[in-house]
Amino acid sequence: MNSGIWRFSRWLDPIPASARMTLGEGNTPLVRSRRLGPSVGLKNLYFKLELTNPSGSYKDRFACAAISDMVACGKTECIATSSGNTGAALAAYCALAGISCEIAIVEGAPEGKLKQMLAYGARLFRVRGFGIDSRLSEQVVECLKMLSARPQAQMQISAFAYSPVGMSGVKSLSHELAEQATAIDRGAWDHVFCMAGGGGLTLAVSLGFEQLHDAGQLPTLPCVECVQPEGNNTIAGPLRAGLNVAQTVQCTSRISGLQVPQIIDGNEVIAACRRNGGTGHLVEDHFVWETQSRLAREEGIFAEPAGSTAVAGALQAANEGYLDPAANIVCLITGSAFKDPPSLDAMVQHTSAPMIELQDLQRRVAETC
């Protein structure tokens, strides 16, 4: 297969080249774990580094597709919701396209992500209780639907339930992973670990693999594993319990980006994971933060907490004996640690960069050398 997001985005074919808003998203690196995988007995654990996308997360795949479609349709106002990464990606691509961008932000969004959106020129407002209370969150979306009903406007939420065209761009992840698998042992993935808030990423990856399988380009489907914080158990718990429907919750997780108490794409995620053999994994917030720190210190990967959640799920699954030690496993590292300054403060709270005098350095050289 040939690489490149556009080669796999069937919806883009009828869109004029002038409407394609790209910042060079996609084609992100795949790296093999040198320490975390072996520490839990996994011989072939890999990381897909989505944090290398232009705005620092996989959501650029969504924004590229969504905003290109808006440009092609003559829309000039983007109305959106975000906990951070979607908003940053949409704001960046709206700036590129000359489209105004107005975003309703969840209550717990970190300042780092808000500043990134503001830097791109987006207009923001935080709604108290949004991202915590499922009923209130649904009411926020209903208000945005009314705002986006105007002819010049369109609502963008990174979920198939609201923005299927934008989410088609996220399917490119599966195509890239399938291509990159040709360089690993046995040439195929056994498990793909995805973090989930509303479930759009997990569903997009599952559907992308199904597209390849149906086209005869993928012999077997990998198991797509859905990982959520315990405090936002809308999908993973019901999936693991054998249920067919997701559930609304009162979100208690502090993992920014995964505070989505509504079902959204949850039911479709459960159905898709049933088809490919994946299941759900619930991880505690503190284990996500621990994994974030280990990724930095043991793998050199600078991921935000949400971007570390899939890895936490894989490590936990290995410790539970769920994974074959020889299986080919890939975890999606979905966002950069620069997105979440509070988590960085926690990671380095016991270290510092003291100011010293030249003679102090000279003394150290004399003592060491």
- pLDDT tens digits, one per residue of 351-364: 889 898 999 999 99
Query: Residue 214: which CATH number?
Result: 3.40.50.1100
Predicted local confidence at residue 80, as pLDDT: 94
Strand order through the sheet with 223-229: 30-32, 44-49, 328-333, 191-195, 223-229, 280-283
Fill in the DSSP letter of residue 327.
Answer: -
Which structural domain, as residue segments, surrounds residue 317? Answer: 5-56+170-347
**Is the four-CA dihedral 176, 275, 188, 296 of positive or negative sign?**
positive
pLDDT tens string 312-322: 999 999 999 99
121/222 same-domain check? no
Domain contains 176:
yes
**Mean of the pLDDT values across residues 278-291?**
98
Predicted local confidence at residue 23, as pLDDT: 94
pTM of the predicted protein model: 0.92
CA angle, 231 as apex, 268 and 222 as ends, to 5°? Answer: 40
120/250 same-domain check? no
Q: Tell which of 166, 191, 208 closes a domain.
A: 166
Rounded Cα distance between 91 and 103, Å, is 9
207/334 same-domain check? yes
Let me know: does 45 contact 32? Beta carbons within 8 Å. yes
Q: What total of structural domains would you count in the chain?
A: 2
Rounded Cα distance between 66 and 63, Å, is 5
Predicted local confidence at residue 278, as pLDDT: 98
Who's near 130: CB < 8 A, 6+ residues apart?
Answer: 81, 104, 105, 106, 107, 136, 137, 140
Rounded Cα distance between 122 and 135, Å, is 26
* C-alpha separations of 275 from 187, 229, 239, 247, 260 in Å: 21, 23, 12, 20, 24
Domain contains 352:
no
Residue 140 above 80 pLDDT?
yes
**Mean of the pLDDT values across residues 199-220?**
96
**What's the token pair of residue 205?**
């990856």
108/144 same-domain check? yes
**Residue whose tokens read 């975890």:** 331
Residue 30 above 80 pLDDT?
yes
Nearest to 223 by CA among 333, 331, 334, 62: 331
pLDDT class of 17 with cuts at 50, 70, 90 = confident
45/74 same-domain check? no
103/133 same-domain check? yes
Q: Tell which of 145, 166, 187 closes a domain.
A: 166
